[in-house]
A and B are shown apart, each in its own frame.
Chain A
Amino acid sequence: MFVHKIILFVQNSHMKNLKLASIGLVVGLANGLFGAGGGSLLVPALQKFMKLETKKSHATTLAVILPLSVISAGIYIWGVDLEWKIVLLVSAGGICGGVIGAKLLNKLAGWWLNILFGAFLAAGAIRMLFS
C-alpha cells in the first residue's frame, strides 16, 4: 500500500513536471530563435495548464522570460555585431512607451484592440514573407 502510494506520487509529480518541462523548453526555444514571442506563448499556457488568472500569468511570464532573454541575448551579442546606440535609443523610447501603455490599457482595452493588433501583425508578416 505504502509503496503504491509512493509510485502514485512520483507518477503525478512526474506528469506535472513533464508538462512544465515541455512548456519551458518550447517557450525558451521560440524566444531564443525569434528574439521575441516567448511571452505570447507562455501567458495562454499558464492560463490553460496552470490555471493562473490573467494578471498572475502576465507577471509570472515576465519572471520566466527575463532570465531566458538574458541568456539568449548573451549568445546574440557573441554571434552578431550590434550598434549599442540603436539599443539605447529604442530602449529609452520603450521605457516611456511602457508607462503610457500601462495607463492606456484600462481605458482602451476591448475587442477592437485585438483586431487592430492582429491586423497589424498580419500586414507585417505578409510583408516579410513576400520581400
Chain B
Amino acid sequence: MIYILVGLASGIISGMGIGGGAILIPALTIFLDIGQQKAQNINLLYFLPTALFAIFVHKKNGNIEKKGLPSLILWGIPGAITGALIAVKIDANYLRKGFAVFLLMMAAYELTKGYKKWKEKKTTKEQMQ
C-alpha cells in the first residue's frame, strides 16, 4: 500500500512537469530503506509506461520537435550505457552521495526559478497599481 502511495505522490509531481524521480528515489531510499541502485532502477522502469502514454498524446498534438531528435537519441545512447554501467558497478554509498549532489543542484535551480517568478509577479503588480 505504501508503495502505491509513494508512486501516486511522485506521479502527481511528474504530471505537473517537474521530475518525479527527484521525489521518488529519495522517498524510496529514505523512508522505505531500498538500496540506491534498486531505487534508481524502479524509477527508470516506472517512468516507461507513463512516458509512453504521454508521448502518444504529445505526438497527436504535434508537440514533438523532430529536428535534431535522431542526433540527440543517437548520442544519448553511449551516455545511457556508460552511465548505467558505472551506476551498477559503483559502491552504493558513493552513488547515493553523488545523487544527493545532483539533487541539490536541481533544488537550487527550482528555488531560483521560483524566486524569479515571484519577482516578476511582484513587478507586474506594482506596475498595475
Residues of chain B touching chain A, judged by Cβ–Cβ distance below 8 Å, are 3-30, 34-35, 37-55, 58-59, 61, 63-65, 68-69, 71-89, 95-104, 106-111, 113-115, 117-118, 121
* Inter-chain contacts of A118 with B (CB < 8 A): 106-111, 113-114
Which single member of A40, A68, A74, A102 contacts B73 (CB below 8 Å)?
Answer: A68
Residues of chain A touching chain B, judged by Cβ–Cβ distance below 8 Å, are 16-17, 20-40, 42, 44, 46, 50, 52, 55-60, 62-83, 86-87, 89-105, 108-115, 117-122, 124-129, 131
Which single member of A23, A95, A105 contacts B72 (CB below 8 Å)?
Answer: A23
**Contact A37 B21, beta carbon cutoff 8 Å:** yes
**Contact A20 B13, beta carbon cutoff 8 Å:** no
Which single member of B29, B64, B104, B115 contacts A56 (CB below 8 Å)?
Answer: B64
Residues A114 and B38 in contact in the complex (CB < 8 Å), given A25-B79, A29-B79, A33-B83: no
**Binding site secondary structure of chain B:** helix
Closest chain B residue to A29 by CB distance?
Answer: B79
**Contact B44 A114, beta carbon cutoff 8 Å:** no
- Interface-central residue, B9, B15, B25, B30, by most chain A CB under 10 Å: B15
Docked CA distance A77–B42 (Å) = 10
- Interface-central residue, A17, A22, A70, by most chain B CB under 10 Å: A70
Which single member of A37, A69, A128 contacts B97 (CB below 8 Å)?
Answer: A128
Supply 7 A–B pairs (Cβ within 8 Å), ascending by A: A34-B87, A36-B24, A82-B41, A96-B11, A99-B15, A128-B26, A128-B103
Docked CA distance A51–B31 (Å) = 40
Closest chain B residue to A42 by CB distance?
Answer: B72
**Contact B14 A98, beta carbon cutoff 8 Å:** yes
Which single member of B12, B25, B43, B51 contacts A66 (CB below 8 Å)?
Answer: B51
**Contact B14 A76, beta carbon cutoff 8 Å:** no
- Interface-central residue, B4, B20, B72, B76, by most chain A CB under 10 Å: B76
**Contact B40 A34, beta carbon cutoff 8 Å:** yes
Docked CA distance A110–B9 (Å) = 19
